[in-house]
C-alpha cells in the first residue's frame, strides 16, 4: 500500500513538474517571438510610445532662472504653458540675482524691465528668422537664431548685469563678460559644421 502511494505521489509530482515546464516553455516561445519582432523592426519608430524628459530653447534659461526645486517640472511643461507657471519665478530670481535689476523700473540694453525681459524668456523657445542672418546677437540682429560661434553667455550676462548701457558701458562690468569669447576648436564651413572631437 505504502509503495503504491509512493508511486502515485511520484507520478503526480512528475506530471506537475512537466506541466509547469510546458507552461514556461510556452512563455519562452512568446518572449522569443516578441524579441524577433523587435529585431525584425526596420526602424525604431514602429509600435512605440515616447514620454518627454528634457527640453531646451535658449541657452542657460533653466540653469539660471528656474529655482532648483522646479527644474524637473520645467522640463516637462510645454512651452505654451511655461509663461503662466514660471514668469513670476523668473522675475523674482532675476531681481534677486542681479543688482542691475534691483528696482522694478530698471531696464537692460534691450530696454526691457525685469518683468518684460522674463516674460520673453519664460516661454523657452529659440526665435529663428528665415530671412535674416541667424544669430543670438551680432550687434545688429537680435534673437534671430543661434549660431555656433555666438557668444551667448556674454550676451546674456550683458542683458542680466549690464543695465541700460550694457552694450557700451555695463553697469556691472565684472559680471557682464566672462572673457571667453570663442570656442576652443574652429567650426567647419560645411555640414556638419561642428568640429571633430578631441
* Residues 51 to 110 in contact with other proteins, rule: CB under 8 A: 51-57, 59-63, 66, 71-72, 74-76, 78-80, 82
CB of 91 closer than 8 Å to CB of 114: yes
Closest distance between other proteins and the C-beta of residue 115, in Å?
19
The footprint of other proteins on residues 113-172 (CB under 8 A) is 123-131, 133-135, 144-148, 151-153
Q: Binders of other proteins: how many residues, by CB under 8 A?
A: 75
CB of 151 closer than 8 Å to CB of 181: yes
Cβ neighbours, 10 Å, residue 104: 10
Give the residue with the Cβ less far from other proteins, 5 or 174: 174
The footprint of other proteins on residues 20-39 (CB under 8 A) is none
Among 1, 2, 3, 49, binds other proteins (CB under 8 A): 49
Window contacting other proteins (CB under 8 A); options: 10-18, 25-33, 46-54, 113-121? 46-54
Closest distance between other proteins and the C-beta of residue 198, in Å?
5
Q: Using alpha carbons only, how large is the chain's radius of gyration in Å?
A: 30
Give the residue with the Cβ less far from other proteins, 70 or 113: 70
Closest distance between other proteins and the C-beta of residue 25, in Å?
26
| Residues making up the chain, counted from first to last | 198
Give the residue with the Cβ less far from other proteins, 5 or 44: 44
Q: Which residues of 157-192 are buried (b: 16+ CB within 10 A; e: fewer)?
A: bbbbbbbbebbeebbbeebbbeeeeeeeeeeeeeee
Q: Kindly state the cell numbers that stand for 162.
A: 549690464
107 has which bridge partners? 113
Q: Give the Cα separation of 117 and 110 in Å (integer).
A: 9
Closest distance between other proteins and the C-beta of residue 22, in Å?
30
Q: Kindly state the cell numbers that stand for 196.
A: 571633430
Q: Locate cell 523674482: which residue?
A: 92
The footprint of other proteins on residues 179-198 (CB under 8 A) is 179-185, 187, 189-198
Give the residue with the Cβ less far from other proteins, 3 or 190: 190
Amino acid at each position: 500500500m505504502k509503495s503504491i502511494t509512493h508511486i502515485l505521489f511520484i507520478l503526480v509530482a512528475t506530471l506537475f513538474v512537466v506541466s509547469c515546464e510546458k507552461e514556461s516553455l510556452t512563455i519562452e516561445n512568446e518572449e522569443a517571438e516578441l524579441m524577433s519582432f523587435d529585431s525584425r523592426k526596420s526602424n525604431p519608430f514602429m509600435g512605440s510610445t515616447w514620454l518627454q524628459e528634457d527640453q531646451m530653447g535658449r541657452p542657460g534659461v533653466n540653469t539660471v532662472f528656474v529655482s532648483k526645486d522646479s527644474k524637473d517640472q520645467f522640463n516637462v511643461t510645454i512651452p505654451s504653458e511655461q509663461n503662466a507657471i514660471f514668469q513670476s519665478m523668473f522675475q523674482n530670481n532675476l531681481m534677486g540675482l542681479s543688482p542691475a535689476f534691483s528696482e522694478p523700473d530698471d531696464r537692460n540694453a534691450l530696454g526691457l524691465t525685469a518683468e518684460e525681459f522674463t516674460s520673453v524668456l519664460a516661454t523657452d523657445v529659440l526665435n529663428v528668422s528665415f530671412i535674416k542672418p541667424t544669430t543670438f546677437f551680432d550687434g545688429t540682429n537680435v534673437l534671430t537664431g543661434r549660431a555656433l560661434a555666438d557668444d551667448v553667455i556674454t550676451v546674456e550676462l550683458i542683458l542680466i548685469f549690464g543695465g541700460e548701457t550694457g552694450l557700451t558701458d555695463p553697469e556691472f562690468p565684472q559680471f557682464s563678460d566672462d572673457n571667453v569669447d570663442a570656442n576652443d576648436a574652429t567650426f567647419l564651413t560645411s555640414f556638419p559644421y561642428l568640429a571633430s572631437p578631441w
